[in-house]
Amino acid sequence: MDHFFAEVVYFAPAALFNIYFAAASIPLGFVFAVFLALGKDSRNPLLSRLSRGYIYAFRGSPLFIQFFMFYSLALSLNISVWKPMGISWFVLHPLFIGPLVLILNTSAYTAEIFHGALRAVPRGEIEAARAYGMSWPQQFRQVIWPNLIRLAWPAYTNEVVFLFHATAIVYFALPVIGQQKDLMITAKELVERDYNAFMHFSIAALYFLAVSLVVFFLFGLVYQRLMRHMPSRPRMRFAPKWLR
Amino acid sequence: MKKTLFAAAAILALTSAANAQEVVRIGTEGAYAPWNFMDDAGKPAGFEIDLGNAICAEAKLTCEFVVNDWDSIIPNLLAGNYDVIMAGMSITDERRETIDFSDNYFPADPSRFAAEAGETLDLNALEGKRIGVQGGTIQAAYAQEHFGANNTVVSFTTADQAMADLAAGNLDTILADGAYLEPVITASNGAFEFVGEDILIGDGYAAGLRKDEPELKGKINAALETLKKNGTLDKLIAQWFDGRGPFFAS
Amino acid sequence: MSEDIAFWLSYLTNGKHLTWYASFQFTIFAAVAGGILAVVFGLIGATLKNSRYLPLRLIGTFYSSIVRGVPDVLFFLFFPLAFEQAVEWIWASQVCTPEMIAAQSAAWPPCKAANWILTTPEYLILASVSLGLVYGAFATNVIHGAMRSVPHGQLEAARAYGMSTGQVLWRVQIRQMWVYALPGLSNVWMLIIKATSLLSLLQIADIVLWADRLGAPNFLPAVGLVHDDWRWRYYLVLFVFYILVTLISEKGFNALMRRAGRGMLNEGHH
């Protein structure tokens, strides 16, 4: 049992890498997704096609391949682009290119969620806003966005949990710098040493499960706040769904 | 339930026992030219494949090559997925704790730094350099221990990936087996050079075995002895490593 | 010009490339077998979750929520290893003598005789079962929801005809549930397709491994064509391949849903 707790502590620094990867990609992925969702809904055919194609490509291919592809692509641009700009060490660093690919990936999934929510915003409310003479930015801020985020929040919570799960494959595809190892690499190296798959993988799994629960809890609090106008506020349960 | 499990176990036992008698499985990486690589036919080829086949012919064994990633090559040997490792593996004391080695089939060879032409390295005051290594190698451990504090050590899954990053300018240097780097540097026509000083780690290259296989080890060593004496091994080394040697002919 | 074409044609059809093309069979096998198993495990899980007995219900719920709370890749690495060890452990209890166990130097297996050699076919089957187990947890959720969507009247009618509980479940509820489950199952299928990219982590020489080997820069003429780092091109091919598979699957599922929904739409008109 002591051994178990010692190992839980041993895994803690590794968990920080997974948390970092997720935390670094959530904000930008969120913003990018809003633009993509609006783009997909846009009346401009070029913008709509581009957003649609982007979302389709990134949802339709494995993240694992995306990691390999973008790393080798960035590498092949190194001498002609990154080196002259002096940002070579930075661009190809897993702590940069990891979140970058995760942002590209999660924004596609999130955009699909937001787009669905956007289309579910009650028509009547938008028409009412127009009748009041609101400009489009006003309509968006006052009517569309509050509705959209409330509708999308449970699904978005799911996406964040799966994004966190997706950080498990970062170091299977990217080089490892020094001792910067995440939960999966740490568990894999320990298993390769003593074959105790049950112990090492379980501890890594516990961390993933625990962080998933924390995400559900925190996002649930936000959801409560988003829904504070409702007479009985709906609760969110821990139930990762098949949205990804 | 228990009966079916037992039946399944018995079938497994029969099939694998039959396998164990017939075929010696040799684990290799297939991404470490000229030691071992995948040739244009998509099959393992290289110095160690030729040597492995020569050993098996000599020892009258039927052999089969199995490709396995480098980072799990020792665990999967121990787990019994293959019986021998021939993958450019150096003998080290640390590895001796977990696995056994045959006699060496390539002499101890220094690990060397390769870099783009014009780069200089002062190993005594190495600072702020990006050093590429293959993860799980003796060089990876050495670089982390000696240069890890003041430099960035980047580990890759295969040596070829490290080479790709060096060629693309993402690394200042890579530390690898001299015998792996030498053909590459020769072929690069001056684009890459050896830099810094050589580092001697490891006691030569040998086949890795599980510790409880003295019989197989004996067969391999006897075959190696013959191949060393009759010059076959030296010929293979000269053939795959730009005419190096002879090392073993008496 | 024609020389160029001939050169590229022969390069793209050399044995190494042919092996790469052939390795797509592993990906397709894992996807199909994983998909079928996911539906099987999904049906089992949903039936458990629907059960009248609390322990069975708990098992179903536990399975579907725990597996979904953990990354697929973790389970994908864990399950084949755990299964191998379990088999070897049971086997060891039959064949290992104390002397054999004492003679064993490695940490695992317990004794040399109880060693199960895993090669590509075994790994492929274990990989498919892992995919089935992981995505079966997602399918459990989908099928559970779909079973509840079957109109109550139909089940009551079946009972009124004197069908037993099992008959109602098998002949009516499961048959009628597909229409509601198809959109969700199509989503699970897309997840499985994408998860097949992980096969190389189990030492299967799959499309990803070959893309790396083919694209890695080569400096030595003895090894093959000397070229720079071409990896991103090969990965781009895989990127496009997966998008195409998704596209085709989507079309297939849409056709299936239209077909399955025919009777339902008529019902709406009455």
Judged by DSSP in three states, C34 sits in helix
What is the separation, in whole angstroms, between the first and last Cα of chain B?
62
Q: Using CB atoms and an 8 Å cut-off, which of residues 128-147 of chain B contact chain A?
A: 130, 132, 135, 144
> Does the distance separating the beta carbons of B187 and C226 come in below 8 Å?
yes
pLDDT tens digits for range A213-229: 999 999 999 999 998 88
How many C-beta atoms surround the C-beta of residue C127 within 10 A? 27
Q: Using CB atoms and an 8 Å cut-off, which of residues 176-235 of chain B contact chain C?
A: 183-184, 187-188, 210-212
On the question of pLDDT at A15 being above 80, the answer is yes
Alpha-carbon distance B129 to nearest alpha carbon in chain A (angstroms): 11
Q: What is the pLDDT of residue B101?
A: 96
Q: Out of A68, A197, A212, whose CB is closest to C85?
A: A197
> Does the distance separating the beta carbons of B34 and C231 come in below 8 Å?
no
Q: What is the pLDDT of residue C93?
A: 85
Instruction: Please check whether residue A176 touches B, CB under 8 A.
Output: yes
B241's CB contacts (< 8 A; 6+ apart) are B34, B47, B179, B182, B183
> Does the distance separating the beta carbons of A66 and C73 come in below 8 Å?
no
pLDDT tens digits for range A97-141: 999 999 999 999 999 999 999 999 999 999 999 999 999 999 999
Tell me which of C17 and C260 has the higher pLDDT: C17
Tell me how far apart the alpha carbons of residues B68 and B87 are, in angstroms, rounded to a whole number.
10
**With bands split at pLDDT 50, 70 and 90, how would you rate the model's confidence at A243?**
low
Question: How confident is the model over B38-49, as a mean pLDDT?
Answer: 94
Helix (H) or strand (E) holding B97: helix B93-98
Tell me how far apart the alpha carbons of residues A30 and A40 are, in angstroms, rounded to a whole number.
15
Q: What is the pLDDT of residue B1?
A: 44
Q: What is the pLDDT of residue A238?
A: 61
**Contact call for residues B75 and A192 (beta carbons, < 8 A):** yes
Look at domain B111-199 and name its CATH class: alpha beta
Tell me how far apart the alpha carbons of residues C173 and B67 are, in angstroms, rounded to a whole number.
48
Q: What is the pLDDT of residue C173?
A: 87
* Alpha-carbon distance values, B161 to A81, A95, A189 (Å): 20, 18, 20
Residue C252 counted as domain residue: no
Q: What is the pLDDT of residue B243?
A: 87
Q: What is the pLDDT of residue C268?
A: 41
Which is nearest to C71 in space by CA: A60, A244, A28? A244
Q: CATH code at C60? A: 1.10.3720.10
Q: What is the pLDDT of residue C102?
A: 79
Chain A nearest-CA residue for B144: A178
On the question of pLDDT at B20 being above 50, the answer is no
Q: What is the pLDDT of residue B9?
A: 52
Domain ranges of chain B: 19-108+203-240, 111-199
> Does the distance separating the beta carbons of A184 and C74 come in below 8 Å?
yes
> Does the distance separating the beta carbons of B161 and A175 come in below 8 Å?
yes
Count Cβ neighbours within 10 Å for each residue of A89-121 and write b for 16 or more, e otherwise: bebbbbbebbbbbbbbbbbbbbbbbbbebbeeb
Tell me how far apart the alpha carbons of residues B216 and B26 are, in angstroms, rounded to a whole number.
12
- Counting one residue from chain A and one from chain C, the pairs whose CB atoms sit within 8 A come to 119
Q: What is the pLDDT of residue A93?
A: 94
Tell me how far apart the alpha carbons of residues B138 and B176 are, in angstroms, rounded to a whole number.
9
Q: What is the pLDDT of residue A233?
A: 67
Chains with ≥3 CB–CB distances under 8 Å to C: A, B
Q: What is the pLDDT of residue B12?
A: 53
Residue type, B145: E
> Does the distance separating the beta carbons of C112 and B38 come in below 8 Å?
no
Tell me which of B213 and A13 has the higher pLDDT: A13
Q: Using CB atoms and an 8 Å cut-off, which of residues 106-125 of chain C contact chain B?
A: 106-109, 112-119
- Please provide residue C23's backbone torsions phi and psi, each rounded to the nearest 5 degrees: -70, -10
Instruction: Please check whether residue B226 touches A, CB under 8 A.
Output: no
Domain ranges of chain A: 16-176
Tell me how far apart the alpha carbons of residues A238 and C50 are, in angstroms, rounded to a whole number.
19
> Does the distance separating the beta carbons of A240 and C68 come in below 8 Å?
yes
Q: What is the pLDDT of residue C266?
A: 46
What percentage of chain C reaches a pLDDT higher than 90? 63
Tell me how far apart the alpha carbons of residues B206 and B221 are, in angstroms, rounded to a whole number.
10
How many structural domains comprise chain C?
1
On the question of pLDDT at B250 being above 80, the answer is no
Residue C62 counted as domain residue: yes
> Does the distance separating the beta carbons of A238 and C69 come in below 8 Å?
yes
- Counting one residue from chain A and one from chain B, the pairs whose CB atoms sit within 8 A come to 47
Which ipTM did the prediction report? 0.92
- Please provide residue B205's backbone torsions phi and psi, each rounded to the nearest 5 degrees: -105, 135
Judging contacts by C-beta atoms under 8 Å, the chain B residues touching residue C219 are 163, 183-184, 187-188
Tell me which of A88 and B17 has the higher pLDDT: A88
Q: Where are the alpha helices (DSSP H) in C69-173?
A: 72-95, 98-103, 120-149, 152-160, 165-167
pLDDT tens digits for range C119-161: 899 999 999 999 999 999 999 999 999 998 888 898 899 999 9
User: CATH number of A16-176: 1.10.3720.10, 3.20.20.70, 3.40.50.9100, 3.90.180.10?
Assistant: 1.10.3720.10
Question: How confident is the model over C101-119, as a mean pLDDT?
Answer: 79
Q: Out of C95, C114, C213, whose CB is closest to B38?
A: C213
Of A234-238, B140-144, C7-11, which range is least confident?
A234-238
Q: What is the pLDDT of residue C267?
A: 46
Question: Mean pLDDT for chain B?
Answer: 89
pTM: 0.92
> Does the distance separating the beta carbons of B71 and A178 come in below 8 Å?
no
Residue C238 counted as domain residue: no
Judging contacts by C-beta atoms under 8 Å, the chain C residues touching residue B30 are 213
Which is nearest to A208 in space by CA: A14, A69, A38? A14
Tell me how far apart the alpha carbons of residues A192 and A189 are, in angstroms, rounded to a whole number.
5
pLDDT tens digits for range A43-81: 999 999 999 999 999 999 999 999 999 999 999 999 999
Q: Which residue range is the domain that position C194 belongs to?
A: 24-205
Residue type, A227: M
In a mutational test of the A interface, the residue from B154, B166, B171 whose CB has the highest number of chain A CBs within 10 Å is B154
> Does the distance separating the beta carbons of C115 and B80 come in below 8 Å?
yes
Tell me which of B18 and B27 has the higher pLDDT: B27
CATH 3.40.190.10 is right for the domain spanning B19-108+203-240: yes
How many C-beta atoms surround the C-beta of residue B231 within 10 A? 15
Question: How confident is the model over B31-60, as a mean pLDDT?
Answer: 94
Judged by DSSP in three states, B132 sits in strand
Q: What is the pLDDT of residue C165?
A: 86
> Does the distance separating the beta carbons of C216 and B42 come in below 8 Å?
no
Of A72-81, B20-29, C185-194, C220-229, which range is least confident?
B20-29
pLDDT tens digits for range A125-135: 999 999 999 99
Residues in chain A: 244
**With bands split at pLDDT 50, 70 and 90, how would you rate the model's confidence at B5?**
low
> Does the distance separating the beta carbons of A60 and C247 come in below 8 Å?
yes
Alpha-carbon distance C249 to nearest alpha carbon in chain A (angstroms): 10
Instruction: Please check whether residue A76 touches B, CB under 8 A.
Output: yes
* Alpha-carbon distance values, A178 to B140, C31, C193 (Å): 9, 36, 33
Match 């130097």 to its residue by tokens: C105
